[in-house]
Structure 1
Amino acid sequence: MLTRKQHELLVFIQDRLDETGISPSFEEMKDAIDLKSKSGVHRLISALEERGFIRRLPNRARALEVIRQTDRAGAASREEPGTVVPLNRKSGTPAPANDVVEIPLHGRIAAGMPIEALEDQQMLPVPAALLGAGEHYALEVSGDSMIEAGIFDGDFALVRRTEEARDGEIIVALVHGVEATLKYLHRDAGKVRLDPANAAYEAQVYDARDVQVQGRLAGLLRRYH
């Protein structure tokens, strides 16, 4: 059974898809069900996805498709909100088609700031063309250790979430479980070397067990002032 907020959000998404063929933005969903932040909407969307009511369509804006509907009558039909009604796939809502997606923005990637600690996340609109398959998140870059790779302070690093990476790739590495950094990855004889892209900085070498890959760099966004 869905919670009341999950039910309200699912009905709102259904109605908007029926009306326009495009699912609502996170801001519209936040206002429609009276939430304080878009991170709350993100959690509800994730819960609905896990329970099989919706799915996210890759590389499309507002990429939500309703798989199972709920009974809108609620108490009037003597059923709790959230009762499942199978969706007729032949007459189902057409999939939205656009070129912007929203991904979690976890905060600044800086020494002493593990990704997992950044719970008060926002959502960042990103051109879908910058992302490939898989789950992505964004981090705001702090510092100049990667400037020779074209990555500058204040850029937004678009990261594909993964625990696997090849030598020479730019990764988000969690060191000793407490420090997140964006560097080139190299492995050698049980060691991991994290290379900067700035001649003013030295490589960092650790035991392999002390470094966890948190994702691979997929793209960058930059603001011009």
Structure 2
Amino acid sequence: MLTKKQLDLLAFIHKRVQRDGVPPSFDEMKDALDLRSKSGIHRLITALEERGFIRRLAHRARAIEVVKLPDSMGGTGFAPRVIDGDLPDIPPPANALPVSTIEATELPVMGKIAAGVPIEAISQRSHGVTVPNGMLAGNGAHYALEVKGDSMIEAGINDGDVVVILETSVADDGDIVVALVEDQEATLKRFKRKGNAIALEAANPLYETRVFPSDQVKVQGRLVGLIRSY
């Protein structure tokens, strides 16, 4: 899932290279997206790289490889292409390792998950999001959820972030899980066992820990990755 600014920048870079054979400068990117400074462009490029859409090549100034385009930009059948910036290449050190290709997987986003007051149980795909394969935990099934609320902010999870979840029905103490409460509400909380009960702990002192009989809490997944919302 890309924000509008991220999608606009990816589209601008792709169209300029297709039209002119050369990438836009950072100043041109800044003007095209109506940003006040080039630092905003740096943040957007970093976000696109984290999401697996582009790759910055080591030891080559501002050289970018477009790895994948989203479906809305005709991603099917897209062939990656290397585009160079307007600064001279920097020779790699003798012991430099080869740059590897970033592999990515599209996961279903199954709606919103409450990091606050629990919301209705999640059951339907709303859209997809592409994540680097390095964020996934082995070969298990994964899905993604958009965070709603601020109860997990001290764990680095903010409102609007997208969390990557490994589908599982078991959890260890301290894991951050998707918990289904009384088969009706879904919430993202830290999992703790207390005898025959389950405690769902927030990471924000403004929210109280909620304790339920163990048969009223079903683990539906464990947090394995996070995509920051910009």
TM-score under structure 1 normalisation?
0.55
What is the CA–CA distance in structure 1 between the aligned matches of 2:142 and 2:75, rounded to whole Å? Answer: 25
Calculate percent identity across the aligned residue pairs.
44
- Is the alpha carbon distance of 1:98 and 1:31 closer, same or farther for their aligned partners in structure 2, counting shifts above 3 Å? closer
Structure 2 counterpart of 1:105: 109
What is the CA–CA distance in structure 2 between the aligned matches of 1:26 and 1:201, rounded to whole Å? Answer: 37
Q: Secondary structure at the match of 2:134?
A: helix
- Residue 98 of structure 1 and its aligned partner are, at CA, apart by 4.8
Q: Secondary structure at the match of 2:120?
A: coil
Structure 2 counterpart of 1:202: 208
- Residue 27 of structure 1 and its aligned partner are, at CA, apart by 3.4
What is the CA–CA distance in structure 1 between the aligned matches of 2:219 and 2:166, rounded to whole Å? Answer: 11
Unaligned runs of 5+ in 2: 1-67, 77-100
Structure 1 counterpart of 2:136: 131
- Is the alpha carbon distance of 1:218 and 1:120 closer, same or farther for their aligned partners in structure 2, counting shifts above 3 Å? closer
What is the CA–CA distance in structure 2 between the aligned matches of 1:120 and 1:146, rounded to whole Å? Answer: 23
Structure 2 counterpart of 1:183: 189
Q: How does 1:157-168 map to 2 (within 5 A)?
A: 157-168=163-174
What is the CA–CA distance in structure 1 between the aligned matches of 2:149 and 2:75, rounded to whole Å? Answer: 36
What is the CA–CA distance in structure 2 between the aligned matches of 1:213 and 1:207, rounded to whole Å? Answer: 13
- Residue 122 of structure 1 and its aligned partner are, at CA, apart by 1.4
Q: Counterpart amino acid of 1:114?
A: A
Q: Secondary structure at the match of 2:119?
A: coil
Unaligned runs of 5+ in 1: 1-23, 33-96
What is the CA–CA distance in structure 1 between the aligned matches of 2:206 and 2:173, rounded to whole Å? Answer: 22
- Residue 121 of structure 1 and its aligned partner are, at CA, apart by 2.9
Structure 2 counterpart of 1:69: none
Q: Contact 2:148–2:160 at 8 Å: present in 1 too?
A: yes
Structure 1 counterpart of 2:178: 172
Q: Counterpart amino acid of 1:125?
A: T
What is the CA–CA distance in structure 1 between the aligned matches of 2:130 and 2:225, rounded to whole Å? Answer: 13
Structure 1 counterpart of 2:122: 115
Q: Contact 2:109–2:144 at 8 Å: present in 1 too?
A: yes
Q: Mean alpha-carbon deviation: is it higher for 131-140 or for 210-219?
A: 131-140
- Residue 26 of structure 1 and its aligned partner are, at CA, apart by 8.3
What is the CA–CA distance in structure 1 between the aligned matches of 2:154 and 2:175, rounded to whole Å? Answer: 14
Q: Contact 2:113–2:119 at 8 Å: present in 1 too?
A: no
What is the CA–CA distance in structure 2 between the aligned matches of 1:101 and 1:166, rounded to whole Å? Answer: 26
What is the CA–CA distance in structure 2 between the aligned matches of 1:181 and 1:161, rounded to whole Å? Answer: 15
1:155 aligns with 2:161: yes
Structure 2 counterpart of 1:212: 218
Moved over 2 A (4+): 24-28
